[in-house]
Amino acid sequence: MNILADASLPHLDTLFQAPCHLVTYTNHAELLSALLHDNNYDVLLCRSTLHVTAELLSNSRLRYVATASSGVDHIDLDYLKTQNIKLFDAKGCNAEAVSDYVLSTLAYLDTHQKLPGKRVGIMGVGEVGSRVNARLHALGFEVFLYDPLKASINPDFISCSLEDFSSCDALCIHANLHNTQPYSTQNFLDTEFLQSLKPNTVMINAARGGMLDEQALLHIKHPITYCTDVYQSEPKINPEIISYATLCTPHIAGHSIEAKSDAVVHISQALHRAFKLRPPAALAYPKLTLDCSDDSWQARALAQYNPIHETLKLKQAYDKNAEFLNLRRAHRHRHNFSQYQI
């Protein structure tokens, strides 16, 4: 198995030992395309920051593309099908980290009297949305679940209507970004949708920036408490959105230490099985001690991760595009909440 992998991914040497042949890259675009063209790689292992296009892969000999991310909107899926290139992703590996992030965001808003009530809508009830739902139920929130696609294939799941969101105090966005009708989510959060919400409704976007029409949000008549981890044209982010947002973080909701490691483990195991090799074992993570004298859920969540720190750095930065990338690279020390012992 000849693998070309993003050098920033963790545990590559441990998870791709002999007989795997591993080469890492740090450059994108033309240099990466040349590497793929000039060498006989079986696998490209990338992150969501790489746009895997027909131009990038042309004349390569790849058999597999693997992305250490849950979303695949950065990959030209149609081209992969025409070239008979199989795709592996890490869907679900960062679900716990993203739901932790949402809990910290709600904790910050509640602590600063910016959460108007306990009626919360969740848009998209997959791996992340289901975990957010479980956490909110445990904390006594009233939750409305919207996922018509899931309802169409799972008779045991009943989706609420979009009209139900008009009575909610907060919305958590966790749907996949796609253009497939009749449930396309591209620019789904448009002027009509935003106008249907109550003034001062909290909206937490930890899905994809392309789901929200950012210009519609900036020109909406009534105020929305917008908290976002994602942006429409990353890494070229709109400074007006940064100014508008109550909380704005650099696309790191799923970037806990365990989530990033588990994603590579998941990909490694899938590739080993595909090549009929013995998969490596899962990694073991030590338990940690949480130092927090306040036993409220808000204090415990914020003791583990507080989104205001990265928000302030992004808001205060002169070059917001550069700061977005710098903060994303620097986000290396956050653990899943479940790693802590109380």
Known catalytic residues?
208, 234, 251
Cβ(205)–Cβ(230) below 8 Å? yes
